[in-house]
Chain A
Amino acid sequence: MVPCPRAEDGRESITIIGDGTADGVRSILTELRQKLIALGMMSEQRGTVEIVLAEALNNIIEHAYAPQEPGPLQLHADLKPDWLEIELRDRGRPFPGLGLPHPILPDSSGPVRTLPEGGFGWYLIHNLTDRVSYHRVADENHLYLGFMINRS
């Protein structure tokens, strides 16, 4: 992690690089959590950010990268007075059709044996963020996640 010096306009930025593996995701989330605690972000908002990032990063390691060829993950976070802006970059495959998946909640109304065991990720991401966008830039995926924040 490379914490930048506190800027005069109240912005902070954080860059974390990790491996595109489940353990790599965990360590990125743990580092970011520590940093957001240090910056005084409230617990509920840290929880929101952590859930969204877990889903977005897991999506990268499960779908953008091939399981046998994990690549790097890069997280850049800008904490502004009212917004937390996070950009995730990877060098994996682009999203199909170069667009974000639709946030559809899997149906859990049927009997136990038919209950969904996955497919919740994009629903959670869309529900818990205030802005989401995606750009394919050269051979990289750039996923932008924005959160409005209330500071205590």
Chain B
Amino acid sequence: MAQSEFVLEMLNISKEFPGVKALDQVSLRVRPGTVHALLGENGAGKSTLMKCLFGLYKEDAGEIYLDGQKFAIQSAREAMDKGISMIHQELHVNTHRNVMENIWLGRFPKRRLGPVKLVDERTMYQRTKELFDSLNMDIDPWTKVGDMSVSERQLMEIARAVSYHSKVIIMDEPTSSLTENEVAQLFHIIRDLKQRNVAIIYISHKIEEILRISDEVSILRDGKNVGTWKAEELTEDAIISHMVGRDLVDRFPPRENKPSDEVVLRVEGLTSPIPTSFREVSFELRQGEILGIGGLVGAQRTELIEALFGLRRVAKGKVYLKGQEVKIDSPITAKKLGMALLTEERRSTGIFPVLDVLENIAIANIHDYVKPNRLLDDKARKEDAADSVERLQVRTPGLKTLIQDLSGGNQQKVLLGRWLLTEPDIFLLDEPTRGIDVGAKYEFYTIMMELAKQGKSIIFISSEMPELIGMSDRIMVMCEGRLAGFVSREEATQERIMRLATQFMSA
């Protein structure tokens, strides 16, 4: 085969799982020295395609060429040896060991001592140092990975990819937990990698970011190719409509909720026992209102609402529900008082992965189903769960399906359904749309608006400015644990929120 203009060609890849055609004749061609963004809603097949490339799945049909050579591998290790690396969404590193051991794991440099081979730490250190220097990264090879920030770990992963002389590096949601500055640093390194003729397959939900960094964009929908474009030919709206498969007129549902004057929740001077956490926070929440909470990572928003829900301790401050002072010391109390919480970490504190949809929905209100004879009313439970699935349009084969087999957006709907059954008055939603795709986001917004219309009150933490502005009646902005100010819906702009969010930060 003649030298191709592409470093990587995946041609007509198909992959089927029981009941789902995850990939249907999908092709992807990537040029060397470019950033190629791969976009699509959750379940569109991005991850599956990348797993086929990285040897984690075996494709049912189709061919892969790397540098014009047929590329057939059995394992991730083989993929890395042949020049393909993947920076995972959830980084797989051994946090108890140091940086260099993580980088060279499986191929430690060795030296002989008589008949035995020992790991040559000095050489390993030397090589690691050179590697970091060449990438302008300032990391000590001896650092224990557990002591490093997420962004440093990511840099380490990139360095590891470079150390394998990777021709193609897959980055799956690399910026999801990075601050602005760290993103800038990452982009700097990506440009450097391009200079070295490395191709990058960049997966992200953040469209604005993709337009900033990528050269070409491929979009998948329902396991099929939609197309490939040069990044400069695309706009944010165009990308979204390609992903969703329809023209997207509005990204947010019409605001039909009418917040009343009645204050349902009043918080006065709430202060955490931890000095660096939230302090002296006071606000009011009205009936039928969606109160957004904006701020940067580290603004202690999650800590604040988890404290409201009784998951964290409070040193000082008062909470009034409908004028009555309450002490919320555990989620059990919060639940009784008509509150519901969707946590930020859906996987670790939300779903019961090995249980089915039914058990995941009907758990927070399980007490309601206890009959006088102490047994559960199974029929009522199933009916309520089926109702929720229907009402929230959860896409699941049935109530018996394990929740871990649903997409992120559908898992989130199940969790919301769980709390709807407890009939709460106040919803605390912590980054509820994080990691779910555009179409599911819109559905989630619609549900939120519907709840507000019914007179439920919602506190809504979001780090995505457009949705914060698009959904909230008022936005409360926090900065380093303190309340920085309120912005009404009419005067909300990204700049204004940003200024408040950085108000107390020393330069």
A interacts with B: no
Residues of B within 8 A of A (CB): none
